[in-house]
Amino acid sequence: MTITGEALIGGVAVKGEGSSVKAFDPSKRDYLEPAFNAVSEAQIDAACRLAGAAFDTFRATSDGERAKFLDTIGEEILAIGDELIERAMAESGLPRARLEGERGRTVNQLKMFADLLREGSWRDARLDSPIPDRTPPRPDLRMRLIGVGPVAVFAASNFPLAFSVAGGDTASAFAAGCPVVLKAHSAHPGTSELVGRAVAKAVERCGLPKGTFALLTGTGRHIGTTLVAHPAIQAVGFTGSRAGGTALMAVAAARPQPIPVYAEMSSINPVVLLPNALKARGDSIAQQFAGSLTMGVGQFCTNPGMVVGLAGPELDKFAVDAAAALAGTGPATMLTPGIAGAYQEGVAKLAGQSCVKTVALANQEEGKGAPALFQSGASDFLKTHALQDEVFGPASLIVACQSLDEVRQVIENLEGQLTATLQMDEADYPAAAQLLPVLERKVGRILANGFPTGVEVSTAMVHGGPFPSTADGRSTSVGTGAISRFLRPVCYQNIPQALLPEALRDGNPLQIWRRRDGALTKE
């Protein structure tokens, strides 16, 4: 399959009309062919209009038809073969094993949503029987969830497959019956084109409207802002920086018809070292922490960018052990020159704070990220908001507290986070019980005796959290719950049986779980 450097609109490959950009090969520090041109405003408009025209037809497809579509996308991705992995390696600098695993995750996500569709509970069907002899009478009421409309999806830089063209945002939007207009990330345009053509082929194989999917290419904020401002777009899925996410939120809020933006942005994912665990196994925790911090050159949104513990010899030893473990990991190539530059700027800014002590800091090299570990006191942390800034890469800050109450104050003053981890032994349970209510308000996922890198794709997973970790802490971008972002409820009052959607008809023809007068049943 030859990469052409073209966008896909209505199933047709089109050349963008703006300035061209080439993907950067981080490992060779060179640029890859071909050049990808930025789509024009007219092309963005065409993609959005096609998506709007396709919506009613696509959402009217049966759950089985959409499940087959998702499975077909997975088949087409696998059919690309090794060319997809090789291109992703060249564009991202990520190793083969990581990308092969990510391809598997991408296909499994698609299958997971296909299974959800076949099971049917996603509709949240509810039926309240009429009570004609009540005063006033209660009408016949029935409710289900439907797709919101075309969704604009922005691919992430750090997951060329699993959070990209056919990633979780796209899969959940398709499952909800929503067409997708996707903005490919400029860090891996060739990978995006290969997967985009696989999705387009699945659209064709399944006989779906041409506007079901579009892939837009190019750099520059105007593409994203034009896309989000388009009246056909009804929701946004975004993974990236806080600046990028909040800019799109502002555009979406300023529309004549505001729309929701589900943006995953920044998080430092605190790891709390409770005293008994730290004393009993601090050396082991330090080793695991170093491995988690440097995994993938720290380019995960769940990277442990903060450690909180009680000041004293155990925490001092933890810092020494962690620094020793990090010393074995040298500078490594980051995803793009821009990400590497931003990381080095963030490290320098943190090291330059007068209240911060450098624990470990290897020499930084152009285009690479070297591990960095710093330490500050809780009192300084509480009055220096800049210490909460995410440094996207293998950098972390140890915050030394004088008491468990000060640990609680530090957590209380944190911004919203994706995760928090409690390293604890049984003797620490009383302290953990005091921290849990605060953590529940601050984060989307709480871990015990693990590390946050690695997000399981499952029904119970929450990959989200209060702002600024995400734009809307009531949602998740991973797991079957992600479909709810692109659904809304519709109630049908006294609608004749012949006009009701199948999910709400008497006799339950789809044999799905429904709430009849409050009771969950398949009857």
**491 belongs to the catalytic site:** no
- Furthest-apart CA atoms within the chain: distance in Å: 80
**Residue 118 pLDDT:** 96
CATH of 270-448, one of 3.40.309.10, 1.10.472.10, 3.40.640.10, 3.40.50.300: 3.40.309.10
Domain regions of the chain by residue span:
16-265+473-485, 270-448
The confidence score (pLDDT) of residue 27 equals 79
pTM attached to this predicted model: 0.96
- The answer to whether the bond into 136 is cis (omega within 30° of 0) is yes
pLDDT at residue 195 in the model:
98
Residue 114's alpha-carbon distances to 201, 342, 474, 477, 488, in angstroms, are: 18, 38, 23, 16, 20
Summarize pLDDT for 409-426 with one digit per residue, the tens. Answer: 999 999 999 999 999 999
Least Cα distance to 183 among 149, 230, 242 occurs for: 230
Nearest to 472 by CA among 180, 252, 166: 252
Note the pLDDT of residue 430.
Answer: 98
Superfamily grouping for domain 16-265+473-485: Aldehyde Dehydrogenase; Chain A, domain 1 (3.40.605.10)
All residue ranges of the chain with pLDDT < 50 are none
Among residues 48, 178, 301, 401, the one annotated as catalytic is 301
What's the confidence (pLDDT) of residue 26?
86
Residue 456 β-bridge partners: none
The tokens describing 405, both together, are 């109450």
Q: Which of helix, strand or coil describes residue 357?
A: strand
- What is the model's pLDDT at position 18? 85
**Is residue 264 flagged as an active site residue?**
yes
Catalytic residue among 76, 102, 264, 415: 264
Residue 158's region, left for phi above 0, alpha for psi from -120 to 50, else beta, is alpha
Supply the pLDDT for residue 205: 98
pLDDT for the residue 25: 85
Neighbours of 231 (CB within 10 A): 13
pLDDT of residue 224: 97
Query: How confident is the model at residue 478, as a pLDDT?
Result: 97
Rounded to whole angstroms, the Cα distance separating 104 from 108 reads 6
